[in-house]
Amino acid sequence: MPTSAPIRLRVFSLNCWGIRYVSKHCVERFVLIGDLLNKEELDIALLQEVWCEKDFLFLKKKLGNVYPYSHYFKSGFIGSGLAVFSKHRIHDAFLYRYSLNGYPYMAQHGDWFGGKAVGKVLLNISGLTVHVFVTHLHAEYCRERDSYLPHRVVQTWELQQFIRHTSAGADVVILGGDLNMHPDDLGTRLLRNCTGLLDCFTEATSFDGCEGGNTHITENPFTNTDELIPYEGGIRIDYILFKGSGQVDASCESLSTTKGPVPGQPFPYSDHEALTAELLLTPTKKGYGCSEREFGCVADKIPDLVNMVNEARTEVKVGLHCAERMRHTTSRTGIMGLVLLLLELAIAAVPLFALGAEQPFPKASFYLLGALCFAILLSTLLLYIFYSMEVKALQGAEDQMRLSLRSLQESLKVSPKVLSSDLFQNPPDDPATLEPDN
Amino acid sequence: MPTSAPIRLRVFSLNCWGIRYVSKHCVERFVLIGDLLNKEELDIALLQEVWCEKDFLFLKKKLGNVYPYSHYFKSGFIGSGLAVFSKHRIHDAFLYRYSLNGYPYMAQHGDWFGGKAVGKVLLNISGLTVHVFVTHLHAEYCRERDSYLPHRVVQTWELQQFIRHTSAGADVVILGGDLNMHPDDLGTRLLRNCTGLLDCFTEATSFDGCEGGNTHITENPFTNTDELIPYEGGIRIDYILFKGSGQVDASCESLSTTKGPVPGQPFPYSDHEALTAELLLTPTKKGYGCSEREFGCVADKIPDLVNMVNEARTEVKVGLHCAERMRHTTSRTGIMGLVLLLLELAIAAVPLFALGAEQPFPKASFYLLGALCFAILLSTLLLYIFYSMEVKALQGAEDQMRLSLRSLQESLKVSPKVLSSDLFQNPPDDPATLEPDN
């Protein structure tokens, strides 16, 4: 049974840049991160890019006294990199792997191997059911020509679907992580508007940290400053988002970020800045219903939401077009490989019929060419399978978006005022449910 | 606002065996299935193995008048094969792809290519929020030596996690599909006990169909009767499960199955029998609370649940052991391929230093062996990546199971009587919440 006294919750999020043998001072930085977490005595710490399980186990041991509960989310080839440390018992954990996450042959980017996902843990804090989500979306390597944009849009779509569908029973919802999207990017807006989650940076009563809440800044010695030149001070791509419910009023008291170099330490904690938010949760006696602040209970939002979903659908269609083109190119290359192989076999058959020819048969070239044909056939087969799966995933996301659009448009027709972000959970089929005070 | 009059809901489920060019009379059978669905005028039809989108589009067109709403779930290389047709508007759709689903190199079984998943659609029927799930788990090819058992157990685990986490806001939950598990198999018990879902076959007031509710029977001319010999009449592997909530009492009025050959038709609808359940939904005014029948509100169930999760964990560990062994073998083979390649390069280097040797260099064997080495290296690399992902997925499932076990055991310590299947949603941290009447 929830207590009625306000509860203060301190939440931490950091992309740890924990790529062993690649990230600078990886082992030493995990020691520093552990020290910081132990000193801060937070309620929940959400970590990303803890790629190596050894580093998670090191932290688990180091933090055991302050954070007796933890969960490490495993997925993909390397892992999801996601870890949660909590002062409160973790009752349940669940993982959703995004259906798209880059390309395996883009090994230099490596996202595909990480098995990016959204992890959820379920906590009970003073009688309140708190659903905590942690995620890390596909990186943006080139903002001008971002070939991964459709993948990130689909990831955002799946993230908001996962949060909406799994948090119906939550008193409080918290999401932390590296979204790899700027605050006004399509994905960030889509996520906020579909789920009703609020951004700690815009909501915090007090803020202490980098200008504009930036989490990827030029002052950080690990950062490649060239890519940040157009953005001067840096960019904001890490977030802590939250919302309450009819049962709990949630607000953000304060937000802080680290600021690059750490005084007294030889280097920063990571190439990203860490976020610490202090949330205030006040149990209400309102019961289920419309909470103006948390859900944005205004009909005006629906047209925006419709535009956003349309925009997302366009991006997905662009991605679909690319994926289909790539699949087409792959199948054409495969056919060429097959023709080459048949041609070679025909050439090989010639000496059989023209016995006694004077020219010796060029065996070396024959075998080399044969091997090449097989390599082409095998790689195009694998790529064809991969692109077909990409096409299916993109089509699936687009179908879901189309369905949501129809639902949104239908609800606009039926009623001028509707609980926008709760739309999909409580579909407004029955006009009675659309009355604002029902 | 829900009406208080009882609502009758007719739900249909069929594995359509729709493998074009492989399944017998595939196109003709979809015509028959369409006719049946149009004649029956059901509320919801849940179809599996609609592998070809053309067949879905054919049904969509054919059923448009009776079932104006439909959704086709796309995933994997071929698709998930899952389709929903509904008389009621589909407000939202969401898909969860299972992290494990067989092996790509087992092409003769083909499960991997299908991208097996659980699909969810959200309906609003007379003011009730109805969450409908459709799924198809990995096939069982050999019951005695079932190498896919760990994969199916992980799929079941993820299925129950998905249902539990996404249906907190539901008034009614319905799951239909081909689980490829017998009624007393570990997976089926785990699913029923974790989610609180009830089996229409055991709950139905009246039943009309194959003996024992079997859905894969010897009388069906498409069935391979050899594999059913140990089970005489057949096996029950297709299910419709349901549960109500504090808001709605749900019961099953009747269940029927098709019985192999269809009178007046040249062949059956599929190699599986179709299920039709009639559910009675009675809105209550109880509000949230303990509904003895739907949730099995007895503490006695927790030890059973603990045993089941332990049993599942053992299966997953067996799978993990196999996957790790396979990965080990793969890496050893890869190393052998590498050694062979180096050896070959050394042999190739010999003539360079021993100029004027009399023996001609065996170019053909050299190139053939080189190609073999590369083939070994490439295939072991791909297999190593695949097995690593399998290991990660199995470890992830085991971690979640361990967490759930701890939660269950903790709740047993804290209170002797607890709402078992609701455990994870309302974790019993606060002893006050554990009082049976709270």
pLDDT tens digits for A359-385? 666 677 777 788 888 889 999 999 999
Confidence of residue B297 (pLDDT cuts 50, 70, 90): very low
| Gap between the Cα atoms of B236 and B234, Å rounded | 7
- Are B236 and B201 in contact, with CB atoms under 8 Å apart? yes
Buried b (16+ CB within 10 A) or exposed e, B258-272: bbbeeeeeebbbbbb
Mean pLDDT (whole number) for B259-273: 90
Confidence of residue B264 (pLDDT cuts 50, 70, 90): confident
| Gap between the Cα atoms of A201 and B200, Å rounded | 50
- Are A217 and A260 in contact, with CB atoms under 8 Å apart? yes
Token pair, residue A299, equals 């009909």
Pairing of β A83-86 and β A248-257: unpaired
> What is Dmax (Cα atoms) for chain A?
100
| Gap between the Cα atoms of B223 and B231, Å rounded | 13
Which one of A91, A165, A272, A328 is the catalytic residue? A272
Given a cut of 50, whether residue B21 has pLDDT beyond it is yes
Q: What is the ipTM of this complex?
A: 0.87
CA dist list (Å): B429 to A122, B280, B412 = 11, 35, 11
Given a cut of 90, whether residue A40 has pLDDT beyond it is yes
Token pair, residue A40, equals 């801060």
pLDDT value, residue A2: 52
Cβ within 8 Å of residue B283, ≥6 positions away? B2, B3, B4, B5, B6, B7, B128, B171, B247, B248, B249
Interface check for B107 against chain A (CB to CB < 8 A): the answer is: no
| Residues of chain A above pLDDT 90, percent | 58
Given a cut of 80, whether residue A320 has pLDDT beyond it is yes
- Are B85 and B69 in contact, with CB atoms under 8 Å apart? yes
- Exposure of A358 by Cβ count < 10 A (0-12 exposed, 13-18 middle, 19+ buried)? exposed
What are the phi and psi torsion angles at A44 (to 5°)? -140, 130
Mean pLDDT (whole number) for B180-199: 94
pLDDT value, residue A266: 85
Residues of chain A contacting B120 with CB distance shorter than 8 Å: 165
Confidence of residue B437 (pLDDT cuts 50, 70, 90): very low
- List pLDDT tens digits, range B66-96: 999 999 999 888 999 999 999 999 999 999 9
Pairing of β B238-243 and β A248-257: unpaired
Mean pLDDT (whole number) for A405-409: 85
Q: Which of A77, A99, A166 sits opposite B388 (nearest CB)?
A: A77
Question: Which residues make beta-bridge pairs with A95?
Answer: A119
- The overall average pLDDT reported for chain A is 86
Rg (CA), chain B: 26
Dihedral class, residue B170 (left if φ above 0, else alpha if ψ from -120 to 50, else beta): beta
User: CB count, 10 Å around CB of B20?
Assistant: 12
Q: Which of A46-60, A241-255, A394-408, B88-102 has the lowest mean pLDDT?
A: A394-408
- List pLDDT tens digits, range A132-150: 999 999 998 888 888 899 9
Mean pLDDT (whole number) for B384-391: 92
Q: Which residue has the tokens 């140990």?
A: B230
Residue B433's identity, in one-letter code, is: T
Q: Name the CA dihedral angle for A431, A435, A436, B3, rounded to a multiple of 10 degrees.
A: -80
Question: Which residues make beta-bridge pairs with A44?
Answer: A11, A86
Residues of chain A contacting B73 with CB distance shorter than 8 Å: 396
Which one of B136, B165, B272, B321 is the catalytic residue? B272
- A7-15 β-sheet, strand order: A69-72, A83-86, A44-48, A7-15, A275-283, A248-257, A206-208
- Are A117 and A96 in contact, with CB atoms under 8 Å apart? yes
Token pair, residue B233, equals 């009449």
What are the phi and psi torsion angles at B72 (to 5°)? -115, 125
pLDDT value, residue B31: 95
| Gap between the Cα atoms of A256 and B181, Å rounded | 52
- The overall average pLDDT reported for chain B is 86
A328 in active site: no
Residues of chain A contacting B429 with CB distance shorter than 8 Å: 88-89, 91, 124, 127
| pTM confidence score | 0.88
| Gap between the Cα atoms of B165 and A176, Å rounded | 19
Interface check for B288 against chain A (CB to CB < 8 A): the answer is: no
Mean pLDDT (whole number) for A206-233: 89
Q: Do A97 and B99 make contact, defined as CB atoms within 8 angstroms? A: yes
| Gap between the Cα atoms of B82 and B345, Å rounded | 52
Given a cut of 50, whether residue B387 has pLDDT beyond it is yes
| Gap between the Cα atoms of A347 and A366, Å rounded | 9
- Are B305 and B420 in contact, with CB atoms under 8 Å apart? yes
Given a cut of 90, whether residue A352 has pLDDT beyond it is no
Dihedral class, residue B65 (left if φ above 0, else alpha if ψ from -120 to 50, else beta): alpha
Given a cut of 60, whether residue A1 has pLDDT beyond it is no
pLDDT value, residue A425: 43
pLDDT value, residue B116: 92
Q: Which of B74, B79, B129 sits opposite A426 (nearest CB)?
A: B129
The more confidently predicted of residues A6 and B290 is A6
Residues of chain B contacting A401 with CB distance shorter than 8 Å: none
pLDDT value, residue B432: 35
What SS3 state is found at B129? strand
- Smallest CA–CA distance, residue A216 to chain B, in Å, is 30
Q: Which of A140-144, A177-181, B66-70, B334-338 has the lowest mean pLDDT?
A: A140-144
- Are A119 and A95 in contact, with CB atoms under 8 Å apart? yes
- List pLDDT tens digits, range A61-120: 999 999 999 999 998 889 999 999 999 999 999 999 999 999 988 888 888 888 899 999
Cβ within 8 Å of residue B301, ≥6 positions away? B193, B420, B421
E strand or H helix at B363, and its extent?
helix B363-414
User: CB count, 10 Å around CB of B8?
Assistant: 10
CA dist list (Å): A305 to A182, A316, A421, B363, B401 = 18, 16, 9, 67, 38
Residue B263 C-beta-side C-alpha neighbours within 13 Å? 0
Confidence of residue A420 (pLDDT cuts 50, 70, 90): very low
Specify the length of chain A in residues: 438
CA dist list (Å): A111 to A103, A319, B14, B73, B96 = 8, 17, 39, 25, 21
Confidence of residue B357 (pLDDT cuts 50, 70, 90): low
CA dist list (Å): A386 to A22, A153, A243, A379, B2 = 28, 19, 38, 10, 46
Question: Which residues make beta-bridge pairs with A46?
Answer: A13, A84
Q: Do A94 and B169 make contact, defined as CB atoms within 8 angstroms? A: no
Helices and strands, counts by H and E, chain A: 9, 15
| Gap between the Cα atoms of B190 and B423, Å rounded | 14
- List pLDDT tens digits, range B149-160: 999 999 999 999
Taking only residues 374 to 403 of chain B, the set having a beta carbon closer than 8 angstroms to any beta carbon of chain A reads: 374-375, 378, 382, 385, 388-389, 392-393, 395-396, 399-400, 403
3-state secondary structure B299-345: CCHHHHHHHHHHHHHHHHHHHHHHHHHHHHHHHHHHHHHHHHHHHHH
Interface check for B407 against chain A (CB to CB < 8 A): the answer is: yes
Mean pLDDT (whole number) for B202-223: 93
Rg (CA), chain A: 26
Q: How far is CA A373 from the centre of its chain?
A: 39
Given a cut of 80, whether residue A305 has pLDDT beyond it is yes
Q: Return the DSSP state at B180.
A: -
Q: Which residue has the tokens 């995004």?
A: A98
User: CB count, 10 Å around CB of B357?
Assistant: 10
pLDDT value, residue A4: 76
| Gap between the Cα atoms of A172 and A177, Å rounded | 17
Token pair, residue A276, equals 């610490």
Mean pLDDT (whole number) for B189-200: 94
pLDDT value, residue B24: 92
A422-A426-A428 Cα angle (round to 5) = 105
| Gap between the Cα atoms of A370 and A365, Å rounded | 8
| Gap between the Cα atoms of A212 and A223, Å rounded | 17
pLDDT value, residue A359: 65
Token pair, residue A148, equals 């991964």
